[in-house]
């Protein structure tokens, strides 16, 4: 969006006041009134339009800013639709059920809290949704913890940590796709680059949960009921691993994310069709409406009923509105004015990384919305990273390290309110034990200070040429 700049920029005071006012309006609606984020973002768009008219800008110019802003997210929108298709097809083929079942098989040993963290991480990657992971298997683990008289705050911390590890690292996750698309980085390059901060955070968190775990093995009766429900669904089969293997193969050979996800979806759909999971007409219909599970276990039904393009419309509409607002921030000169002041001091890897991290964290705290923290921060700092000589995948990694995983730690955020409700544990109670979510931003700031694991801009171009060849 950096080309969307007016001939004359507003003063830094005017730009800051307008930005803070808009953020304040969005924060009030999301936190106090608890509306869906779409409504206050649309109100923010109207506020910015009024400001544009006051500055004698034509509606045509303002509309151009909105459409150009929304256009930058079309890659993400298309990926979101294909992700919805992938989830529904992987459900029908049994790919996601076998991954979930594998996670449950690991949950019967000692190190209760560490195993909860690992299992929810596996299931989070399989589902690509922290909400679904927490609301299903997370609730089951809370019940197990209650029966064992284990600290619910620690248990919730392990669940949140694992769920957001999966949300951050899964190619099915909307935030992961959003961060890579906004910054124009290949999805799998983005995920690979995140391992530099994510894997150390995972290992440290896992060790901490081992030390905090009670002695003895978990009472797995609740988990056994999950496994029984999965088996009764009749979806799991040896062929269920094929779509996953195909996705891994295409990832290793560095195929584009869209093509990799689409190919795996088609393979999964064909497998489900030939196995007779659904009639062909109903099976292709799941691409839009999602997969509907029908077992005797309501919790398993909730776990497996997911996917479809229709299920992604909430996220798609939010992304389009947020990007349109971002386009107005740029075309009216609000963001460029603030960036012009920041860019005088943000010329090193250290300053760029720190500023990005604190901006993403600040938006999460102010607005309580992780999508906006990724969108606004990503759009604002692309030019900063260019001038600092850093590859764009450094920016996309910092967006997730300080954006995606911070949201569940904010009591009034979308994730915080949801998790506190479904797990029955207040955010401030589980916050000290959400080790993974706390470690991710700390590690990205540490690497920003030291320059370790940061990729220079030139090496990214070399990698792009190698892919093309």
pLDDT in tens, 386-440: 877 888 898 999 999 988 889 899 887 778 877 887 788 888 899 999 999 999 9
Mean pLDDT over each residue of the chain, to the nearest integer: 82
Give me the residues paired with residue 291 across strands: 306
Q: CA–CA separation, 30 vs 377, rounded Å?
A: 19
Domain range list for the chain? 75-312
> For residue 97, what are the CA distances in angstroms to 132, 174, 321, 414, 445?
14, 20, 34, 27, 37
Cβ pair 277, 283 in contact under 8 A: yes
Specify the pLDDT at position 466.
Answer: 44
**Ranges of H-type helices in 308-413:** 313-331, 334-342, 349-367, 370-387, 392-399
109-156 residue pLDDT tens? 678 889 889 988 988 888 777 877 786 678 667 867 775 677 899 999
293-340 residue pLDDT tens? 877 777 778 778 878 898 878 778 877 887 788 788 888 888 778 777
334-371 residue pLDDT tens? 877 877 776 666 667 778 888 888 888 888 887 667 77
Cβ pair 126, 166 in contact under 8 A: yes
**pTM, rounded to two decimals:** 0.69
């Amino acid at each position: 969006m950096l080309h969307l700049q007016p001939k004359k920029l507003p003063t830094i005071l005017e730009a800051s006041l307008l930005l803070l006012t808009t953020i304040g309006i969005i924060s009030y609606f999301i936190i106090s009134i608890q509306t869906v984020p779409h409504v206050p973002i649309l109100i923010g768009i109207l506020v910015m339009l009024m400001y544009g008219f006051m500055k004698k800008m034509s509606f045509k110019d303002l509309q151009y800013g909105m459409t150009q802003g929304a256009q930058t997210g079309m890659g993400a929108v298309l990926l979101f639709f294909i992700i919805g298709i992938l989830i529904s097809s992987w459900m029908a083929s049994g790919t996601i059920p076998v991954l979930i079942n594998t996670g449950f098989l690991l949950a019967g040993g000692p190190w209760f809290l560490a195993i909860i963290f690992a299992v929810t991480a596996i299931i989070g990657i399989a589902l690509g949704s922290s909400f679904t992971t927490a609301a299903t298997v997370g609730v089951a683990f809370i019940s197990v913890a209650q029966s064992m008289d284990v600290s619910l705050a620690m248990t919730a911390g392990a669940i949140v940590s694992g769920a957001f590890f999966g949300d951050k690292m899964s190619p099915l996750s909307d935030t992961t796709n959003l961060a890579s698309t906004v910054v124009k980085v290949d999805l799998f390059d983005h995920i690979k680059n995140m391992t530099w901060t994510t894997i150390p955070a995972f290992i440290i968190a896992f060790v901490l949960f081992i030390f905090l775990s009670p002695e003895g093995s978990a009472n797995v009766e609740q988990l056994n009921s999950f496994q029984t429900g999965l088996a009764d669904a009749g979806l799991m089969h040896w062929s269920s691993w094929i779509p996953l293997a195909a996705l891994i193969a295409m990832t290793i050979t560095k195929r584009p994310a869209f093509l990799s996800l689409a190919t795996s979806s088609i393979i999964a759909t064909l497998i489900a069709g030939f196995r007779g999971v659904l009639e062909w007409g109903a099976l292709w219909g799941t691409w839009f409406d999602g997969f509907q599970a029908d077992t005797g276990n309501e919790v398993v039904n909730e776990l497996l009923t997911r996917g479809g393009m229709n299920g992604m419309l909430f996220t798609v509409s939010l992304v389009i509105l947020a990007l349109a607002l971002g386009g107005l921030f740029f075309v009216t000169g609000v963001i460029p004015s603030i960036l012009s002041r920041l860019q005088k001091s943000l010329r090193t890897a250290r300053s760029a990384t720190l500023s990005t991290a604190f901006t993403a964290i600040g938006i999460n705290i102010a607005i309580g919305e992780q999508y906006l923290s990724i969108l606004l921060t990503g759009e604002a700092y692309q030019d900063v990273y260019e001038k600092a000589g850093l590859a764009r995948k450094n920016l996309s990694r910092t967006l997730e390290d300080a954006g995606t995983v911070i949201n569940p730690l904010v009591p009034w955020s979308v994730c915080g309110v949801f998790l506190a409700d479904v797990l029955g544990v207040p955010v401030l109670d589980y916050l000290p034990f959400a080790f993974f979510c706390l470690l991710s931003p700390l590690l990205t700031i540490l690497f920003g200070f030291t320059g370790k694991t940061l990729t220079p801009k030139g090496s990214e171009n070399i990698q792009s040429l190698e892919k093309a060849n």
